[in-house]
Each structure stands twice: as C-alpha cells, then as structure tokens.
Amino acid sequence: MLLRRLLPLLLLVPMFGVACGDDDEEEERPKGTCTIGDASSCKDGLECQAVAGSEPKCFCSNDRDTGCDKDLGLVCELIEGGNSGCFAPVSVEGRVFDLGTDAPIEGALVVARDANFAADSGVAVSGPDGKYSLRVRVPRNAEGVPRAKDVTLRADAMGYLTFPSAPRIALPVALDSASGDPLVVVGAATDIGMLPLASSTGLGSISGKVLSDAPRGTLVVAGGTAGQGGGVTGVADFDGSYTVFNVPAGTVAVSGYKQGLQLVPTTAAVVASENTAGIDLATADRATSTVTGKVDIVNPGAGKDTSVILVVSETFVPNAARGEAPPGLRAWPVSGAFSISGVPDGNYVVLAAFENDFLVRDPDTAIGGTAIVEITVAGDTAMPQSFKVTGALDVVSPDREQVVSGTPRFIWVDDSGEESYQLVVFDAYGTKIWEHLSLPKVTGSKNVEVDYGTAGGSPETAPALTPGMLYQFRAMSIKQGGTPISKTEDLRGTFVYQ
C-alpha cells in the first residue's frame, strides 16, 4: 500500500522539479542558482539536474541514492522522460547456498549488476539461513510503475568462488515481474548456488572504502600478476565500502577500477583467517583514456554483432581465457571499429565475443589477429591490429549447468571441412581434467558425440568426476594440416555432475 499512497506526491517530482528533501527551501531558491556539476549548489544529498524547457533544479541522486526520506524507506529512481524521484523500492529476495551440499551460506555479499557489469544496487548480506533481501534500482514511468529491466546477481563469500565465475553465467532477473506490497522479485534466478574453493588455507580478507564521489560498482582487485592472474575481487557499495574475500596472506597490491575513475593503488598486509580493515582507495583524477580498435568478423554463421570487454590483467586466467571486467569497460554492439572511453590506467586483456552471441575469437593461429591481446593503458591506447572473430561451434548438450550423472556425453554440431576435433574438459577452477586432442571427423551426422573418458569407443584414463562440482567441455575443430577452424563459446557447455 505504501507505493500507492505515495504516488500522488511522487508525481509532482517530474512536473515541478522538486526532489525529496526540504521542499520549502527548494521553492525559495531562485531558478538557475543550481549549477550542474557543483555539488554545493544543492543541499541534503540532492544533485543539480537539467530540466527540459526550464532551468536546472535539485533532485535526489540516483547514482548515490541520496536525497530521499530513509525513514519512509524511499529510494531514488530515474523517471522515463523526466528527472529522478523518490519511490518505494523493489527488492530481490533469494537464498545463497553450497551447490554441492545445499547448506546455507551465511555472510555472503550479494549485489545486482546491469548489462555493463556495474553494480546497480547496494550490497545485501545473507543471514544464517542463507536468505537475503536486496533493494534494486528500477526506472519508473510517469505513474511510478517499474519499467522493464533485467539485472544479474553477483555473490562473494569466504571460502567460495565468486558467483558467477566463468564459465558460469548468472541468469537474468526481470525486475518488472515484481509483485506484492512491497514489490518483490523471487524465483529460480534469485537463488545462488556457490562452489567452495579447492583450498581456503592461508587466506584472509580485506575491507575499506573507495573514496570517490560516486564509488558504486568499483571493481577492487587484490593481488595477482599482470598476464598471469591470481587476483581476487570485490565490489564497492554506494558509500564506497567493499570487502574482498579469499586474499592470500602476505603483502598484496590493491587497486580499483571503474569507467571514468582513476584511483591511487595501495597495499595491504593480509593475515590468514583475519580481515585487514581500513584499506582505502583515494581518488587521483578522472580517467580520460580511450581504447580503440577493430574487430574483423569472418564466417559468422548465426552470429551478427559481438561485444568487446577490457579484463583486468591481474584477474585473467590464461588456461580458461577468462577474467573480471570493470563496470563500463565494455563496447556493444560491435561489428567493426570500437571505442571504450574513461579507461583507468592499468594492464588489461582485450576479449571479444566472450558472451554467448554465437561468435568466438578466431582460433586459427596461422593467420594474424587471432592471438590474445594484452595492453597497458596510460593515455589513449590503440590496438596494434584488428583481431578476428568467427562463428562458434554450437553446443547441444550438456549446457547451461545441466545436471548429469553417470558418464557424460558431449554433443555439439558438426563443423564442415574439419579433419578432426580436440576436446577438453575443465572444472570450475579452470583446471584441465581430461582432453582428447585427435578425435576423428564425423560423416553422415549433423552432430558430434563423445563420451567422457572415451574416444572412438575405446576407454581412456580419465579422473572420476566429483559430485556437486561444475564442469565445462570445450571443443575445437581442426582442418587439414592441424590448424584450428572454430570452437565452442567461452560460456557454453557447462554442467553439474551428480
């Protein structure tokens, strides 16, 4: 009922430019005294915004979630075709649990992310029963009704892999499906199953603040080596607070990354089984570098456009070609030239076609533009050459975390012109479990089918699969002479063994 009672008042916001806060003071301020970009020209957590056909006025801040009456539980949302206003929130509710045992995970940090992987909410903490309630941000129409918007969820917990860590993907949560009073979204996509680390010995955590005017979503990276990975990450809340779990003990480097934000790196002395607090990241300047390049899409098959992301090099796992992309450092849709602005200084791996879009980075090592691209940003940076993307081998099964038992059978659509295939199976930690590098070509069938641990009907040495573990198979087609043609997508072919 709260939302319905507030709507008549809230609809005054876009009409008269009055934000939540001290309305009398806003009415007395002459028009034009509010200056966009000048935080001091508005009070009480409000910000100056342009108003169509009128002078700028003060409204609540959607980016900082300030300027609304917290005693009433209101949050600041954007209004389509207007400015921001204060509304009763929409919440996402679910449960965080151990994927293998179904046991609840207490103290997990859950955040909603938008299409560019930026945090789009505060941070919720799961309780002893693993349950959490997360307020999320939803644009409204002029009547205050939530508009269509999807988010995905990220979760971090001590002793567990961050969810999602490639090859896992997070299912989209449709916020306009919220129901009830207050509005809540709950369903299969809001429950989060996490995988325990292979070992948590010698690990601690760090916490602190990103000291920026708009810190939400900043990716904080602790440890790791450029080009070799090993870094672990956390996400900053609206107030800049963050926690990074599972940091190796010792002195580690700590850096923060967000589009448009340049932060001063620091170090932390991490102690096993303890939290090292007060590791704050100060703002140095605004990040103004731009990364440019070109993608050459050849033989795309069902693919059309792709995306390009900048992955922090210290988080990149070469064996699985995956890593963490800071919020905003993504270009989409890309079919040729691309540009990513506001890139902070640092080392990055440039990945194209990492998302499920029927395209993959061309694996043909006999031609140029197919190698993994690594760059160091310190000013504007251009790719030395275009890099090639091609149509992917289509996965049939298992896929999308399908639960399997017994001996898994890997099935994908046959390539044309191949002489053989290579098949590799990884576990969720990116460790190679089994491979067969010379599978014969297929004739007379549209699909290739291979049982785990066998090739051509002959059994091979392969380790037993662990119940509750998530795995991924990757296939690559090989042409005459031993050169790769195509491969399955980076985030396909995932399954949970039971």
CB 357 within 8 A of CB 295: no
Q: Which residue in 89, 85, 88 sits closest to 10, CA to CA?
A: 85
Cα 302 → chain centroid: 25
pLDDT computed for residue 274 by the predictor: 97
Partners of residue 90 on adjacent β-strands: 136
Distance CA 152, CA 140 (A): 19
Q: Which residues contact 172 (CB under 8 A, 6 or more apart)?
A: 150, 151, 152, 189
- Tokens 């649990």 sit on residue: 97
Closest CA to 467 of 440, 413, 427: 427
Q: Say how far apart CA 126 and CA 130 lie, in whole Å.
A: 5
For tokens 């915004």, the residue is 49
What are the structural domains of the chain? 2-87 (no CATH), 90-194 (2.60.40.10), 203-286 (2.60.40.10), 289-391 (2.60.40.1120), 395-497 (2.60.40.4070)
The pLDDT of residue 28: 47
Beta bridge partners of 219: 235, 257
Give residue 328's region: left, alpha or beta (phi > 0; psi -120 to 50): left
Q: Distances from the Cα of 343 to the Cαs of 307, 386, 428, in angstroms?
A: 16, 19, 30
Q: What is the number of helices (H) and of strands (E) in the chain?
A: 3, 41
Residue whose entry in the numeric block shows the structure tokens 């080596």: 225
How far apart are the C-alpha atoms of 120 and 110, rounded to whole Å?
11
With b meaning 16 or more CB within 10 Å and e meaning fewer, what string describes 118-139?
bbbbbbbebbeebbbebbbbbb
Backbone torsion region of residue 284, taken as left when φ is above 0, otherwise alpha when ψ lies between -120 and 50, otherwise beta: alpha
Q: Kindly state the tokens that stand for 166.
A: 């490639």
Torsion angles phi and psi, residue 177, rounded to 5: -90, 5
Structure tokens at 477: 């087609």
- Residue 15: the pLDDT is 31
What is the reported pLDDT for 220? 97
pLDDT of 443: 83
SS3 at position 239: coil
- Do 450 and 480 form a contact (C-beta atoms < 8 A)? no
| Closest by Cα among 90, 86, 120 to 14 | 86
The CA-based diameter of the chain, rounded to the nearest angstrom, is 84
- Distance between CA atoms of 427 and 496, rounded to whole angstroms? 10
Which residues 6+ apart lie within 8 Å of 473 measured at CB? 398, 408, 410, 423, 424, 425, 426, 488, 493, 495
Low-confidence stretches of the chain (pLDDT beneath 50): 1-29
Please, what is the Cα angle at 42 between 116 and 33, to 5 degrees? 115
Cα 201 to Cα 194: distance, rounded to the nearest angstrom: 18
What distances in angstroms separate CA 296 from CA 66, 320, 372, 389, one per listed residue? Answer: 44, 23, 14, 6
**In sequence order, which ranges of 425-490 are alpha helices (DSSP H)?**
none
Residue 413: CA count within 13 A, CB half-sphere: 13
From the list 203, 204, 283, 281, the residue with the least C-alpha distance to 241 is 281
What pLDDT does 90 receive? 92
φ, ψ (nearest 5 deg) of residue 189: -75, -10
Residues in Cβ contact with 464 at an 8 Å cutoff, skipping those fewer than 6 apart:
none
**Which residues contact residue 8 at a Cβ distance below 8 angstroms, ignoring those fewer than 6 apart?**
none
- List the beta bridge partners of residue 266: 254
